Structure 1
């Protein structure tokens, strides 16, 4: 089945958005030491699914269904990011779980005790008052809505 031009664009959005956001997350983590909290990880999981679905849409049928599922996964990540941003801004209470990065190559107990504690309610970095979770909400939600719109609209011939 050949895709319409808008469906091909949607395919690129549904794969490119999560790939770029995951790349940015790992660059911020390993390049700048911004370790993810529990809710940050929750935002990554739908992006991983979207990347897999987006790649599959290039290889197998039903392409449009896979593209739509990828776009919905991107939207799910955006909504989780919106919830996380609300916790960071103090709009509502979040969950009490936190994570920390642990290097288990040496003494595991020392690694646990020396690992940085990452709180979900305190952003590690902001730009113009918007945290990384807030940017994920804005970028993912807008991309997913645009992708779904492009997928359902009729191309003019």
Structure 2
């Protein structure tokens, strides 16, 4: 049975909703997100919004393409974050390594109460499953979601050319 393009797109948007909900769940359990973790959430939010547009009837290939772009963006951010965690490349200096050159900070700066108390570094893995971090899982699952959006694009193309 062939699925309609909008059904595939809604499945993809639901995948983003589940991943974003999972991130919030882990945060509720006490796993504070780092800066790069937060970056990965925004494209999921966009994909969910696009899914809502599909739900209310905006069902065009261009809309599905935007959903695919959002999912691909969070997958790319997840892979970038994974590389930072595994020391394949440098991450942002504001949340990795020495976290903004803490070694050169004054005692007043280090003891400041205006700075966050629980700084979460982007290059430290705080949770993993099957040796993969949350960023890695986000990257992999977001690629699956991207494939769903692409399948919606393909299905929309077929339904327009079918007689």
User: Normalised by the shorter chain, which TM-score bucket?
Assistant: 0.7 to 0.9
Moved more, 88-97 or 53-62: 53-62
2:142 alignment partner, one of 140, 143, 149:
140
CA contact (8 A) 2:12 2:149 kept: yes
* Superposition map of 1:104-119 within 5 A: 110=113, 112=115, 115-119=117-121
How many Å apart are 1:82 and its aligned residue?
Answer: 0.5
Q: Counterpart in 2 of 1:66?
A: 63
**Secondary structure of 1:27 counterpart:** helix
Using structure 2 for the length normalisation, give the TM-score: 0.77
**Secondary structure of 2:92 counterpart:** coil
- Separation of aligned partners in 2, 1:8 and 1:50: 13
Return closer, same or farther for 1:69/1:133 CA change in 2, 3 Å cut-off: same
* Superposition map of 1:87-102 within 5 A: 87-98=84-95
Task: Report the number of matched residues.
Answer: 143
Q: Counterpart in 1 of 2:75?
A: 78
Can you list the C-alpha shifts for 1:132-151, whole angstroms capped at 9, x where unaligned?
00000000012212330342
CA contact (8 A) 1:10 1:151 kept: no
Q: Counterpart in 2 of 1:105?
A: none
Return closer, same or farther for 1:150/1:58 CA change in 2, 3 Å cut-off: closer
Q: Which runs of 5+ in 2 are unaligned?
A: 97-111
Q: Which has the larger radius of gyration?
A: 2
How many Å apart are 1:128 and its aligned residue?
Answer: 1.4
- Separation of aligned partners in 2, 1:19 and 1:63: 21
- Separation of aligned partners in 1, 2:11 and 2:48: 10
Using structure 1 for the length normalisation, give the TM-score: 0.80
- Separation of aligned partners in 1, 2:12 and 2:130: 27
Can you list the C-alpha shifts for 1:6-55, whole angstroms capped at 9, x where unaligned?
4133212321111000100000001x111111100110011111111110
Can you list the C-alpha shifts for 1:53-85, whole angstroms capped at 9, x where unaligned?
110112143543222211220111011001001
